């Protein structure tokens, strides 16, 4: 039976045969089960569910006769580490972090679906899995959520789009009458090789400045992270890591983990 890959922490793919009312579900770890007597509308709702795992346990698990049909093995893809759709700041930060662990990486830009979620970890994981399937190589991606407190959390996960619409001056005008100028930033780095998946999280806090400084994206020109005397754009121009010093950066945490994992695999 042909199955359609889905983005879920529990479920890998879903297949369906309307004539037999037969639902087939592949779970993480390669386990495949078939469920009999499943009506087409249940399958349709399943495929449209916001959470495949939640829908399965609420509407399929324990409600139909089932049998285990196979255990497939998800293979680890081979090739160099690839940073997919990384920003200039991502490339710079990963390069600095990987240098001390002698890790080589490549960069690649490929089309990935625009993930609709308020959870940066969910966004990063889905992007990583899509990128790994499309490129057939181990990949690392990042996702960042910006919350401007005075604007009630705007723009959240949609900064890549909003930053293209609004200039630095537009942001500053939005902040004209605001006394609170704090911003919190959540950055997630996600890695997958088709078999192992790992995420790394970093929380940063900063302030929105009174004027734009440096060359970069509209938001980078008006944000200083707490404890830093330059905007994100100025730090990037100066060749400095953007969010934190190298040893504290989320990219360094990732590079250190990958280095240790590779040493373990070779032992």
Which DSSP letter does residue 74 get? P
Closest CA to 116 of 14, 7, 3: 7
* Rounded CA Rg of the chain: 22
The answer to whether residue 14 is domain-embedded is: yes
Same domain, 156 and 229: yes
Number of domains the chain contains: 2
Closest CA to 194 of 131, 250, 252, 142: 131
The answer to whether residue 148 is domain-embedded is: yes
- Give the model's pLDDT for residue 120: 80
- Give the model's pLDDT for residue 247: 67
Of 9-18, 69-78, 98-107, 173-182, the least confident: 69-78
As a whole number of angstroms, the distance between CA 138 and CA 214 comes to 34
- Give the model's pLDDT for residue 134: 86
Same domain, 89 and 162: yes
- Give the model's pLDDT for residue 1: 77
Domain boundary among 25, 53, 71: 71
- Scanning the structure block, which residue is given the tokens 């949609």? 158
Same domain, 91 and 11: no
Please give the share of the chain, as a percent, with pLDDT higher than 90. 58
The answer to whether residue 76 is domain-embedded is: no
Mean pLDDT of 200-221: 93
Same domain, 170 and 39: no
Does residue 137 contact residue 78 with C-beta atoms inside 8 Å?
A: yes
Q: Show the domain range for 154.
A: 81-266
**23 has a pLDDT exceeding 90:** yes
**74 has a pLDDT exceeding 60:** no
The answer to whether residue 63 is domain-embedded is: yes
- Give the model's pLDDT for residue 75: 61
The CATH number given to whatever domain includes residue 168 is: 3.90.950.10
Domain boundary among 14, 38, 71: 71
Same domain, 93 and 152: yes
Of 110-114, 173-177, 216-220, the least confident: 110-114
Q: Using the Cα atoms of residue 259, residue 201, residue 168 and residue 208 in order, give the sign of their dihedral.
A: negative
- Give the model's pLDDT for residue 187: 92
Same domain, 98 and 120: yes
As a whole number of angstroms, the distance between CA 164 and CA 148 comes to 17
pTM summary value: 0.67
Non-local (6+) Cβ contacts of 98 within 8 A are 104, 105, 255
Same domain, 86 and 53: no
**190 has a pLDDT exceeding 60:** yes
The answer to whether residue 43 is domain-embedded is: yes
- Scanning the structure block, which residue is given the tokens 């999280």? 201
As a whole number of angstroms, the distance between CA 201 and CA 212 comes to 28
- Give the model's pLDDT for residue 39: 96
The answer to whether residue 220 is domain-embedded is: yes
Same domain, 246 and 130: yes
Q: Average per-residue pLDDT in the chain?
A: 88
Same domain, 141 and 251: yes
Same domain, 95 and 51: no
Same domain, 12 and 118: no
Domain boundary among 71, 97, 125: 71
Same domain, 173 and 253: yes
Of 5-14, 97-106, 142-151, 217-226, the least confident: 5-14
């Amino acid at each position: 039976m042909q199955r359609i890959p889905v983005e879920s922490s529990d479920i890998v793919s879903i297949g369906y045969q309307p004539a037999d009312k037969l639902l087939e579900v592949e779970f993480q770890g390669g386990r495949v089960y078939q469920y009999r007597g499943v009506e087409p509308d249940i399958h349709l709702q399943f495929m449209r569910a916001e959470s495949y795992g939640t829908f399965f346990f609420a509407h399929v698990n324990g409600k139909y006769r089932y049998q285990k049909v196979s255990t497939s093995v998800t293979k680890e893809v081979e090739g160099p580490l690839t940073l997919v759709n990384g920003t200039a700041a991502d490339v710079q930060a990963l390069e600095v972090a990987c240098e001390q662990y002698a890790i080589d990486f490549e960069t690649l830009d490929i089309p990935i679906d625009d993930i609709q979620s308020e959870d940066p970890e969910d966004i990063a994981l889905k992007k990583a899995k899509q990128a790994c399937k499309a490129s057939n190589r181990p990949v690392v991606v990042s996702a960042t959520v910006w919350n401007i407190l005075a604007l009630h959390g705007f723009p959240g996960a949609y900064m890549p789009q909003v930053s293209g619409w609004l200039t630095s001056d537009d942001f500053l005008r939005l902040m004209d009458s605001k006394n609170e100028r704090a911003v919190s930033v959540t950055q997630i780095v996600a890695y997958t090789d088709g078999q192992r998946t790992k995420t790394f999280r970093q929380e940063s806090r900063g302030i929105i400045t009174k004027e734009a400084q440096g060359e970069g994206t509209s938001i980078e020109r008006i944000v200083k992270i707490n404890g830093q005397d330059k905007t994100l754009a100025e730090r990037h121009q100066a060749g400095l890591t953007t969010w934190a010093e190298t040893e504290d950066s989320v990219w360094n945490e990732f590079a250190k983990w990958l280095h240790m994992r590779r040493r373990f695999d070779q032992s």
